[in-house]
Amino acid sequence: MIIGAGFAGCVLAERLAAGLDKRVLLVDKRPHIGGNAYDYHDEHGILIHKYGPHIFHTNSREVFNYLSRFTEWFPYQHRVRAWVDGRLVPIPINLDTINTLYGTSFNAFQLGEFYKSVAEPRAELKTSEDVILNQVGRELYEKFFRNYTRKQWGLDPSELDAAVTARVPTRTNRDDRYFTDAYQAMPLKGYTRMFERLLDHPNIKILLNTDYHEIEGSILYDEVICTGPIDEFFDYRFGKLPYRSLQFQWETLNTEQVQPVAVINYPNDNLYTRVTEFKHLTGQTHAKTTRVYEYPQAEGDPYYPIPRPENAALYKRYQELGAVTPGVHFVGRLGTYKYYNMDQVVAQALTTFSKIAGVRRADCVASS
């Protein structure tokens, strides 16, 4: 039995069925497969991501090749602008960001010198505040990072692990892509179509609209793979792991395009963090356009594990309990309480499969 039909659950279902000829029951409490990467056509016919924008990028050839068995791709390089001091400027901060904001005409070398002159060097980069101050100093930290982070997480960057803001680099060149990974593309017909193909195997049965608690005890199974929250699996016996949630507000406009790029971040204005216009991501042609506004909140679906030391310590207790509980494996963003991107979850699921199958990691996608 696999709990959760997101990336983690679908990859493991496919591998166990096609690679090991196991019979798999895939259970999800939502009415659809795909987990947080689920997409569908809205009432206007525009392809949207129900749980916020999902951009696929990876440096792993293995992950890309594996998923390529189930989808073709639409090449897409992600670009984001931030609304700062009344202008739209590139984020990650780059040469054009600084020259636009400050009216300078630095070259890359001069910008490197400028960063050095404003940076507040830190001996150790422990928190998300340390990372940014160490790179670009306080003024740019306050313009781009402090308030966005407070909105997104309900915490000051000084209260979050360094890894959170370290996801966003600082550049001295004009590269305005959000990611620089070797593989950047979107599933040509959408994520849901790709998941349908992953699960298209006679050994895989899918049970939607079902919390696994409802069927526990009435279904016989050898092993469980849990990709839902690990604290919930153990009935919160050590207490609740905190997650950050989002509320989405949708808008469809009678115009082909409203934004210059897919995502606009609002670090200092509004209650929402960012606005996404989906047609940029999908390449869809349509007379109308749909956008989503993200409002972070404490309550709701568990979207983001919150990376900070006390949460890691609490997770470790659940992880240790999981390790001594026979017949259960924890995988995925919620199962292992990790702020993972989709490709990292796929890689983690393949590693879990290689352990279950007793094959080398390099061989785990070989049999189909």
Q: Does position 37 bind ligand FAD by CB under 6 A? A: yes
Query: CA distances (Å), 21 to each of 18, 56, 202, 234, in order?
Result: 6, 29, 10, 29
Binding of ligand UDP at residue 89 (CB under 6 A)?
Answer: no
Q: Could you tell me which of 181, 101, 179, 176 has the C-alpha nearest to residue 142?
A: 101
Distance, CA of 83 to CA of 87 (rounded, Å)? 5
CA distance 6 to 301: 14
What is the pairing mode between strands 263-265 and 80-84?
parallel
The reply on whether position 204 binds ligand FAD by CB under 6 A is no
Give yes or no for a cis peptide into 260 (omega within 30° of 0): no
Smaller CB distance to ligand UDP: residue 187 or 267? Answer: 267
| Stretch touching ligand UDP by CB under 6 A, among 7-15, 105-113, 163-171, 207-215 | 163-171
Q: Which one of ligand FAD, ligand UDP, none interacts with residue 91, CB within 5 to 8 A by kind?
A: ligand UDP
Give me the least distance between CB of 121 and ligand FAD, in Å please.
31
**Cα 2 from Cα 223, distance rounded (Å):** 8
What three-state secondary structure class fits 174? coil
Burial class (CB in 10 A: 0-12, 13-18, 19+), 29: middle
Enumerate residues 136-155 that contact ligand UDP by CB under 6 A. 144-145, 148-149, 152
The binding track of 267-306 with respect to ligand UDP, each residue x by CB under 6 A or -, is x---------------------------------------
Q: Is 115 in the site for ligand FAD (CB under 6 A)?
A: no
Q: Binding partner of residue 167 among ligand UDP, ligand FAD, none, CB under 5 to 8 Å per kind?
A: ligand UDP
Token digits for 329?
A: 């494996």
Lay out the site mask for ligand FAD across 39-58 (x = CB under 6 A, - = otherwise). Answer: ------------xxxxx---
Q: Which stretch, 30-38, 60-68, 307-315, 360-368, contacts ligand FAD (CB under 6 A)?
A: 30-38
290 touches 44 (CB < 8 A): yes
Min CB(35)–ligand UDP separation in Å: 15
Out of ligand FAD, ligand UDP, none, what residue 148 binds, judged by CB under 5 to 8 A for its kind, is ligand UDP
- Phi, psi (deg, nearest 5) at residue 54: -120, 110
Tokens of 201: 């195997």
33 in Cβ contact with 199 (< 8 Å)? yes
Stretch that binds ligand UDP, among 7-15, 101-109, 161-169, 252-260 (CB under 6 A): 161-169
Please report, as ranges, the residues that interact with ligand FAD according to CB under 6 A. Answer: 3-9, 27-30, 35-37, 51-55, 211-212, 227-228, 246, 303, 332-334, 340-343, 345
